[in-house]
Structure 1
Amino acid sequence: VRVGAGVAPLIEITGGFVGDLTVRDNVFLTAGLHGMNRAEIRDAFDEIIAFAEIADFVDTPYKHLSSGMKVRIAFAVISRLDEPVILVDEVLAVGDKAFREKCYKRIEELLAGGRTLFFVSHSDKDLRRFCDRGLYLDKGRLQLDDTIEKALAAYAADYGV
């Protein structure tokens, strides 16, 4: 079973993890569900754990991790997938500033490698950093599909921000 069929979701990033399983088991489960085979996961495992900076918690049940630690491990797994499209929905807001910047650098690497990013955010700064095209949605309806600057300007005009 391959989840996402070409899409790596960072929306509700921790949703697919199982609380009673250890971090190690969750890495194998989640990466496997997204199409990585056991050998690929074993090869990437140490890098995933190092990126997440949670080596001391590898054998800890996932449910005992803080929300920030859960995001760390989930991002580390999802960002290792070889999917052409990445969906990001402000999931990194719970991480500390240094780790968030580390994730943003990883996202920039993925973009430089030719990936497509759908980035949902209320942060003008983050949107400008990652996006050149903007889709401005209001009440579920597309208001504008244009440059990121024009989409941000339309949002600001409508909401006085």
Structure 2
Amino acid sequence: RVNGGVAPLIEITGGFVGDLTVRENVKLTSGLHGMSKAEIAERYDEIIDFSELHDFQDTPYRHLSNGMKVRLAFAVVSRLDHPILLVDEVLAVGDKAFREKCYGRIDEMLAAGRTLFFVSHREADLRRFCERGLYIRDHRLAMDASIGEVLTTYNSDI
């Protein structure tokens, strides 16, 4: 069991198996991330509800659209108990309503004391989720400061 791990939302759909159904992939991916069978059973309906894929549970994963794949992956990863969450602009995929739903889930995780590493070029998202920023310029760390200071420097550089 992984209790102190990192839940990645970078290349979020990696690890899902195209020939397995949505149902099978939820169980497999959740288990690979350290959920017990009991935890998977307890959280399964919530994962499906959040992903809004009720009618696709027996559909092979490869037949889902990219947006549906991201919905499923976010629903699984956001139900893990890992204390650290890595997000790399993956939520840019999908409709605005679902993105806002994901942002609400991220707000809940932050309120519960989890750590978020958020990689983005969307200033509004950075201001919403981050207190501290790391500015990478020319493949090197250019600044480590409050998110406001980092965004001011970044904006003056571009």
TM range (shorter): over 0.9
- Structure 2 counterpart SS, 1:25: helix
Alignment RMSD (CA, Å): 1.2
Distance across 1 between alignment mates of 2:131 and 2:38: 37
Alignment of 1:98-137 (within 5 A): 98-137=97-136
Say if 2:4 and 2:83, in contact at 8 Å, map to a contact too: no
Alignment of 1:1-161 (within 5 A): 2=2, 6-159=5-158
- Structure 2 counterpart SS, 1:31: helix
Distance across 2 between alignment mates of 1:129 and 1:31: 28
Distance across 1 between alignment mates of 2:82 and 2:39: 14
Give aligned-pair identity as a percent: 69
Residue deviations 1:123-161 (CA, integer Å, cap 9, x gap): 0000000001000001221000000011111111111xx
Report deviation, 1:102. 0.2
One-letter amino acid matched to 1:119: F
Report deviation, 1:5. 5.3
Distance across 2 between alignment mates of 1:38 and 1:101: 30
Distance across 2 between alignment mates of 1:112 and 1:16: 28
One-letter amino acid matched to 1:56: D
* Unaligned 5+ runs, structure 1: none
One-letter amino acid matched to 2:26: V
Say if 2:83 and 2:114, in contact at 8 Å, map to a contact too: yes
Distance across 2 between alignment mates of 1:46 and 1:33: 18
One-letter amino acid matched to 1:60: T
TM-score (norm 1): 0.95
